Amino acid sequence: MAEPLKIALAGLGTVGVGVIRLIEANAALIARRAGRPLQVTVVSARDRSKPRGVDLSQYAWEDDMVILGERADVDVVVEMVGGSDGPALALARTTIEAGKGLVTANKAMIAHHGLELAAKAEDKHVALKFEAAVAGGIPVIKALREGTAANQIERVYGILNGTCNYILTVMEDTGRDFADVLTEAQAKGYAEADPAFDVEGTDAAHKLSILAAIAFGAKVDFAHVETSGITRLRAADIAQAEALGYVIRLIGMADTAAGGLFQRVQPHLVHCDHPLAHVDGATNAVVAEGNFSGRLLFQGAGAGDGPTASAVVADLIDIARGEVGAAFSVPVSELEELAPAATGHRLGRAYLRFMVADRPGVLAEITAALRDAGVSIESLIQKGRAGDSGKVMVAMVTHEGPESAVSEAVRLLDGSASLSEPPLVLHILDN
């Protein structure tokens, strides 16, 4: 059998340790499939003394992880540190400049610096792989890059953040509000102590920008992902969606239907007949629609040591086989620079929620703004009487129409003394 692929591992958190465990547990199987053994030779982390549940004595230790890419006993570096810049980016640059392959689960770094790193990797004829950066153990990047390579992808979308999906599922099951469920999710380890990166949609936006680049042969454009998270959702929104035959899910969606690149992360009402409506808990799912393949659904664990380590080691097996290829399906020089798509012309239905003062004339004010903006109302619900706050919830579903009309209605209501907070606008995913 050929010489082992010698691996340096930067970052010994749950996923980094999971990579070591997977390589050790399935060593013989991996060697047969890769055509050569995978061998971890050196590791690096912040704290050498921290107990991690695996024996690290057999590996060399490097205090400065950036040096990993320059070591003679390393063929490929696995970066599991995270962060778009700082040590992770320095390690990535050093590794590729040294002519060694790089495997990373760092979606922020790829979203911000992926084009630079991919161009360097092409110049050095080395692999840059990041399957684990999107949707954990789901092989969606490989599916887009290889399995649907003959297709023109018309749309890619899905549930890209397990923390948000877990919170929304619990809200749906229990009728509790966001803040209460978030606290529980943090206690159970489903949400970080500082959850903003997840619940405000940034994590999903990083992943969507990567998927869009691969799906459409475009340059990564994270800066123009329209992003909103789940922090404004109330239990009453979840209940109202259910009464209408929908669930609420944080959806990342991208297409090129208007000639530009449309990218949006936002909570949507998803019809109960849609496959994404049945994706519960911390699960991720991605839908790709090809012009010949039709709709493809990829679903599985979006995080965790086992699934994410599985994706990392799959990339290592590809490198062991000698597979390099373009990181974003085509060479960086051939990626299109697509302008951000205008969204006002997009047709669809929307859910609008208003928190308003309980007094005569308020509803007339809202409906007048919708009328003047050209928004047609399909259904209207006013939830209960005002409590001590003196506020009530008014929810509406619109008929199909241009998004610009809804935006204009919201603009007309801006600054109204009748509204206690800005309106909540959620688009509806029927099919």
| Contact predicate 178/171, CB 8 Å | yes
3-state secondary structure at position 282: coil
pLDDT in tens, 185-202: 888 888 888 999 999 999
Which tens digit of pLDDT belongs to each residue from 26-74? Answer: 999 999 999 999 999 999 999 888 888 898 999 999 999 999 999 999 9
Active site residues: 207
pLDDT of residue 360: 87
C-alpha span between 117 and 106 (Å, rounded): 12
Q: Do residues 43 and 59 make contact, with C-beta atoms less than 8 angstroms apart? A: yes
Nearest one of 143, 72, 118 to 290, comparing CA atoms = 143
Those residues of the chain that have pLDDT short of 50 are none
Q: Do 88 and 82 contact (CB within 8 A), yes or no?
A: yes
> Tell me, what DSSP letter sits at residue 339?
P
Q: Domains, the chain, ranges and CATH?
A: 5-137+308-334 (3.40.50.720), 140-301 (3.30.360.10), 347-429 (3.30.70.260)
pLDDT at 119: 97
Provide CB contacts within 8 A for 213, sequence distance 6+: 114, 219, 220, 221, 328, 335
Instruction: Give the helix ranges, DSSP H, for 63-161.
Output: 86-97, 107-124, 140-142
pTM here?
A: 0.94
Compute the half-sphere exposure of residue 26: CA atoms within 13 Å on the CB side of its CA: 15
The radius of gyration of the chain's CA atoms, rounded to the nearest angstrom, is: 24
Other beta carbons less than 10 A from residue 400's beta carbon: 12
Q: What are the tokens at 213? A: 């680049």
pLDDT at 263: 98
Cβ(312)–Cβ(141) below 8 Å:
no
Q: 216 and 208 in contact (C-beta within 8 Å)?
A: no
CA distance 248 to 332: 37
With b for 16 or more beta-carbon neighbours within 10 A and e for fewer, the 256-288 pattern comes to beeebbbbbbbbbbbbeebebbebbebbbbbbb
Residue by residue, DSSP assigns 179-245 as HHHHHHHHHTTSS-SS-HHHHTSHHHHHHHHHHHHHHHTB---GGG-EE--STT--HHHHHHHHHTT
| DSSP 3-state percent helix, strand, coil across the chain (nearest 5) | 40, 25, 35
